[in-house]
Amino acid sequence: MRPLAGHRSRTVVCMQALKAAAMSRGSAFRPAISNHLKNTFCSPQFARAFARVLLIPCFFCDASNNQKSGRYTDMRRISVLLVALILTGQSGVHSQVSGKLLNGSNDAAATLSSRDESAAIDEVRTLLRDQAELLQTQQRQLERQQAEIDELRRQVAPHKRESISIAEQEQGAASDAAMLRSASMTFSRPVHAPDAASAVNALAGQSGKGTESGDTPLSIHFGKARLTPGGWVDFTAYYRSTDVGSGLGTSFATIPYSNTVLGGLSETRFTAQGSRLSLRTDETFGSVKVFGYAEADFNGFLPANGYVSTNSDSLRLRVYFTDLKRGRWELLAGQSWSMLTPNRVGVSPFLSEIYNTLHLDSNYQVGLTYARQTQIRTVYHFTDNLALGLSAENPQQFSGGAVTFPALFNSTQSDLGSTSGIGGGTATPNVHPDLVAKLSLDAPVGGRSWHLETAGLLTAVGILTPASITKSASAKDIREGGGISAAANIEVAKNLHVIATGFWSDGGGRYIGGIGPAFVVAQPGATTSPFSTRMIHSGSMIAGTEWRASSKNVIALTYSGAYFARSFSIDPSTGALVGYGFPGSTNSSNRALQEGTLATQTRLWSRPGYGSVQVVTQSSYISRSPWYLAPGSPKDAHTFAGYANLRYVLP
């Protein structure tokens, strides 16, 4: 609606009066303005006429039309100011103007009753309240329209990342969410650039970089810092054809043989352990961008009676770190995914940009190289597509429960796994932090995303032979081990990715999911000879595809394997063989493990600001072959594992 042309002359008079009032100062205000108000502001009826002529056309202009509403923005402000001047100064101005009019006019004709004045003021106030309510209604309509536009954009462009921020995390706006009106805490909608490097990603993930979740969560602002909550609520049902008994995560290295009691029985369970909570903090200090991220699930310590009357799954810390970025440099400190873990994009610590499969099994896939451990890393970004990182990470001397040590060796010098009750945790000594370096390249080829990377590992083991054994001075043996990995994530067709990873090491077994040893100990010669360490050669590989069949469906097919070499010697104290994989060793001394998996993720429902509901499935066949088989034993142990999950992803 446009102001009527006949009202413009009155508006000009009002503007002239305002200008005269602004030029006058202090006590000179009213004498200066009185001359201009003589024929205009001398009566309250003018307030009613003024509201009808100027206020109503300005407030009723179409708020959804930016051009029209912008045209009257200044006019509305002037109108409100003039009404305020009238209401506050009307009494004084009226008395001065009417005093001058008494010289040549009838007093009764120039004066209004107090009843008329009160009615005029009430009418103006009522009009202002009506216009404020109208503006609020129009604002709510605009917010709903914006939410509908955002939803249409996601439907029109399904090839863009819609849903991973696990979040995800860390792509959209929840414009119809509630606003917490407070001077110190408000809600807002973070906007993050979509990740164009990978069109195939999990439908749920942590709220990390903002690309982890298509259902962008609300952020809570405390001052200039932004807190972004995230996570999901899980119901998972799983079945295994043998009773592995390891909970949500499959213990690949100890799958029971079919000729055992547990190998002849199956297991079916329900759990909410996979539920996850996350919180990310964003802040900027000058040119430094600061990210803080914490994530936890319920796969922690399980009491012995955890499945008797109450399922008391414990909260467990997954990652907790601070990431600083300035220019081309990036620094991370805290607990995060090892830099040896394959990436989907760059050298990133966020879940949506890390490749750990799309599986429900909390031990992921046989052959995946990964760790979540405390570290400090620095990354230099040569370009937006090329980065080099170096990380110093928490070490651990690991042998596992399948290794046999010489009788005189103090086995607390190695982590033997949780089942042994010996060593482990901070009781295990170490030489220096593990060092990992990674070079990453993201290069679009033919309009499709390519990710290539290579990484190197340096790890050490140190043991001590005390003087009580050598009968002279104590002896220390320190060995350096290492490994190298390579990975590729290539979009061979639209929304179809081929993924391959490979890892070979000398002493890096614990990075293959901890399913094999990093070293063994030998005592060559006599019983007084010092002990020596021997690194175990180990390797793994993954080959798979991920296909986003539609905007709501992802299908992944994965095959993988892991290999551990054997190393053994004769114990001079007993004359028996010791080490790993020797003839007569336990059937948990695995030579090779393999897994084939089909996984699907389907989004049933989603809405910005409300989250999403998803169904995730996994079907896996897993087998392991030991170095030694007792006569009459099956050649390998195998199991079928099936998972079905209903997940609500937090907004």
End position of a domain, from candidates 152, 183, 209: 152
Q: Which domain holds residue 235?
A: 219-299+312-649
Tens digit of each residue's pLDDT (9 = 90 or more) over 300-345: 887 778 788 888 888 999 999 999 999 999 999 999 999 999 999 9
Give the span between the Cα atoms of 620 and 277, in whole angstroms.
27
How would residue 128 be classed by pLDDT, with cut points 50, 70 and 90?
A: confident
Give the span between the Cα atoms of 513 and 517, in whole angstroms.
11
Element (H, E) at 477: strand 475-493
Are both 15 and 124 inside the same structural domain?
yes
The least confident of 4-18, 200-214, 475-489 is: 200-214
Give the span between the Cα atoms of 42 and 24, in whole angstroms.
19
Tens digit of each residue's pLDDT (9 = 90 or more) over 210-231: 343 333 456 788 777 888 888 9
What pLDDT is attached to residue 226? 87
Are both 226 and 137 inside the same structural domain?
no
Domain assignment of residue 558, yes or no? yes
**pTM attached to this predicted model:** 0.68
Domain assignment of residue 470, yes or no? yes
Are both 145 and 239 inside the same structural domain?
no
End position of a domain, from candidates 125, 152, 179: 152
Residue 626 maps to which CATH number?
2.40.160.10
Are both 228 and 138 inside the same structural domain?
no
Count of the separate structural domains present in the chain: 2
Q: Which of 361, 364, 323 is nearest to 341 (CA)?
A: 364
Domain assignment of residue 180, yes or no? no
Whether 165 and 211 have beta carbons less than 8 Å apart is answered as: yes
Tens digit of each residue's pLDDT (9 = 90 or more) over 568-594: 999 999 999 999 999 999 889 999 999
What pLDDT is attached to residue 601? 96
Task: Dihedral sign for Cα 61, 66, 70, 73, please.
Answer: positive
Tens digit of each residue's pLDDT (9 = 90 or more) over 387-410: 999 999 999 999 988 999 999 999
Examine the pLDDT at 72 and tell me if it is beyond 60: no
Domain assignment of residue 97, yes or no? yes
Whether 383 and 389 have beta carbons less than 8 Å apart is answered as: no
Where is mean pLDDT largest: 47-51, 58-62, 143-147, 456-460? 456-460
End position of a domain, from candidates 135, 152, 169: 152
**Structure-token pair, residue 413:** 């010098």
- When the pLDDT of each residue in the chain is averaged and rounded to a whole number, the result is 78
The residue with tokens 């040893």 is 517
Tens digit of each residue's pLDDT (9 = 90 or more) over 531-544: 999 999 999 999 99
Per-residue b or e along 174-207, where b marks 16 or more CB atoms closer than 10 Å to that residue's CB:
bbbbeeeeeeeeeeebbebeebebbbbbbbbbbb
Helix (H, G, I), strand (E, B) or coil at 208: coil
Where is mean pLDDT largest: 9-13, 82-86, 468-472? 468-472
Are both 110 and 253 inside the same structural domain?
no
